Structure 1
């Protein structure tokens, strides 16, 4: 699961970078995000909730392993490997959720900014001169 989460974090970072800078690629990403959010909104929230549930399960497993090592007093090498893997997976899941929220907010702000620029009326410039 770790390679999949790493690929997801890298993809989300790339989407954020594309949204931050005005490039032709930003129009494509905005179009895709509009289609994704308008047509399939509940699917994205379901994916987010599922990822959050897996994150909570991973955190529970981390706490269980730490409790087991505290009770026994001896550190088991297998538990150390499992603990490191769970910590890595849970941190990547947390990053994915955070970056997903950032993409959602950036999409909202960029869309709102582009709409306000499009509907901005042309105001005449009044020069102040001395009479």
Structure 2
């Protein structure tokens, strides 16, 4: 079993190395392979459980051999070989389980990291879109502000023109009132002149009558 576990540990070390170091598309291929492996979670747990049982059995064997050597005072060469073999197997199995757990965690967190990067990329795109919309709204706001300023200037100009027109209208109204007063005065003066003219005609007629009477 020792060569088998050496092979397993070497393979796990290679997988861990490929997960840690990005070499071309190997990391992506390894991630996809681990995704496929994790789909058979029951098989993996069965293998891990079997290795754990064997590891526990080796640990018990190591303890028994040590206890036997302690009682006798020394271990026989066979016991030493068995002890070293069990210790090596236990070490390889423990290291294999540790590497398996490490690879599982690395795969889990790298998958989370990939999802986080994807969501971050989507968030960045959303932020860029919002920034563009903000720029468009800012441009519209600037145009609206310019239009408001232009309308304000037009309103001010119209207000000034209206004030000027009111002043002109007031002056013309005063001129009209003055002209009407002058016309009224002229009319009154004309009436007085007509009365005076009528009186003079009457006096002239009287004088003519007196002259005719005197001649007769």
**TM-score in terms of structure 2 length:** 0.56
Q: Which moved more, 1:68-77 or 1:108-117?
A: 68-77
Paired residue secondary structure (1:49): helix
CA distance in 2, matches of 1:74, 1:108: 48
Cα shift at 1:22: 2.7
Cα shift at 1:51: 0.3
State how 1:1-131 maps to structure 2 within 5 Å: 1-23=1-23, 24-38=25-39, 40-120=40-120, 121-122=123-124, 123-124=127-128
CA distance in 2, matches of 1:14, 1:74: 41
Cα shift at 1:28: 0.6
Tell me which stretches of 4 or more aligned residues in structure 1 moved more than 6 Å. none
CA RMSD of aligned residues (A): 1.5
Q: Which moved more, 1:88-97 or 1:115-124?
A: 115-124
**TM-score in terms of structure 1 length:** 0.90
Paired residue secondary structure (2:92): helix
Q: Which runs of 5+ in 2 are unaligned?
A: 132-216
- In the other structure, the counterpart of 2:142 is none
Residues 68 and 75 in structure 2, CA contact (< 8 A), matched pair in contact too: no
Aligned residues: 125
Larger Rg: 2
Cα shift at 1:21: 2.1
Q: Which moved more, 1:72-81 or 1:46-55?
A: 72-81
Cα shift at 1:75: 2.4
Q: Which runs of 5+ in 1 are unaligned?
A: 127-131
